Amino acid sequence: MVERYLTSPAKCWFQRVHHQGVRSLVDLPVVGFPTRLHVRVPRFLCTAISCPRKIFQATLSCADDGAKLTHRVTRWILQRLAIDRMSVSATAKALGVGWALVNQVALDACRQLVYDDPHYLDGVRILGVDEHVWKHTRKPGQPSNLVTILVDLTPLVDGRGPARLLDLRPGRSAEVLRTWLQERDPGFREQVQVVTMDGFTGYASAVDQVLPDATKVMDPFHVVHLAADKLTGCRQRLQRETTGRRGRKDDPLYKYRRTLLTRTNYLTQRQKQRLDMLWATDDDYVALEVTWLFYQDMIAAYGHPQKSEGKKLMSRVINSLRKGLPAGLEELAQLGRTLWRRREDVLAYFDIGASNGPVEAINGRLEHLRGIALGFRNLNHYILRCLIHSGQLQGKINAL
């Protein structure tokens, strides 16, 4: 451990020096070794009768009163956590201090950079909303394990930088999003023009109530994923109806389950031959073939190079599913009702182009954060650590 002894040059306006004490501060590591600064700080005695306090200690410019770390150590801790993606344990080891001290310093600094900054939410025009599992347990569906994440997509759409995490709120419901939006000032609610989300109707209803002028966009990934779930459900239903059991490795429907979910452009010649054989094998698979064709049409609509043509293709799919479907296409009928109910949100993507893809990317980075920390038990700590990790605070941190 490197130790340095300094004398504080603070000036005294009191009548006389009482004595000098030594204050120990944690400073930046030197060539990998923890460093301690031992500063001789004078204490002054005030002889004024009207002064309620008699003994004063000189104030240091490199550290706050009562702090154990210098100002640049606080910046160094945040840089290691936000830029180098280090864990709190590794950062504490490099400084030669305890985990609790480093964690508390990082959380306090994050609160000041985020929640105490009145301009933190300025310029948010495109807001992304999604759910996130912050704690994996044996019962993953518990509401206590879910949080709602809010992401600013404006920098990414404008080409100014990556998306940034704005906040996390415990729970996944319309009330959670509605409460968060209502807590923001009217200026913020007026500037939000677009809200991207998944197929959860709770988020859509909250936006309709609080942000009636904002455009809702249902993310393409979730739309295609919804269609893929219906395709899988149809395959499983036909498997049970034709064989009376679940699929096995030699059953055609089970063997080609991944091929069915692959986009047509990415199918190999052998995979195409397998599908042709599957459709020609038995008339019992007609419902699966029809569902597969609609699934591929939706993918082709999103993949069309011209958004206007893609919108026409998607509108055609939604209108076709809206019409009366014959018996045996229960999964397609369910998909059609969902798409018709959210048709404006689905088609808005082709006009705006914003999606929840960056939100899903941040979701994945938060999974990486949990791996670095070996899990979290305190949700408040997790929220602040997520903001340090994915809140794009590097500029503010470097300016400390």
Helix (H) or strand (E) holding 185: none
Secondary structure letter of residue 58 according to DSSP: P
Mean pLDDT of 141-168: 90
Q: Assign 110 a pLDDT band (cuts: 50, 70, 90).
A: very high
What's residue 142's pLDDT?
73
What's residue 55's pLDDT?
72
Mean pLDDT of 160-177: 94
If one compares 63 and 297, the residue with the highest pLDDT of the two is: 297
If one compares 52 and 251, the residue with the highest pLDDT of the two is: 251
Task: Name the least confident of 43-57, 91-105, 153-167.
Answer: 43-57
CATH number of the 126-219+355-398 domain: 3.30.420
Task: Name the least confident of 17-21, 194-198, 366-370.
Answer: 17-21
Task: For residue 33, give both structure tokens.
Answer: 């070794």
Look at residue 11 and tell me whether its pLDDT is greater than 80.
no
Look at residue 294 and tell me whether its pLDDT is greater than 50.
yes
* Residues 213, 158, 349: CA angle, nearest 5 degrees: 50
- Reported as a single tens digit per residue, the pLDDT across 225-247 is 999 999 999 999 999 988 889 98
What's residue 3's pLDDT?
62
What's residue 13's pLDDT?
47
Mean pLDDT of 46-75: 80
Strand 146-152 with 126-133, pairing: antiparallel
Helix (H) or strand (E) holding 207: helix 201-210
Is residue 106 a contact partner of residue 151, using CB atoms and an 8 Å limit?
no
Which of 132, 106, 131 shows the shortest CA–CA distance to 385?
106
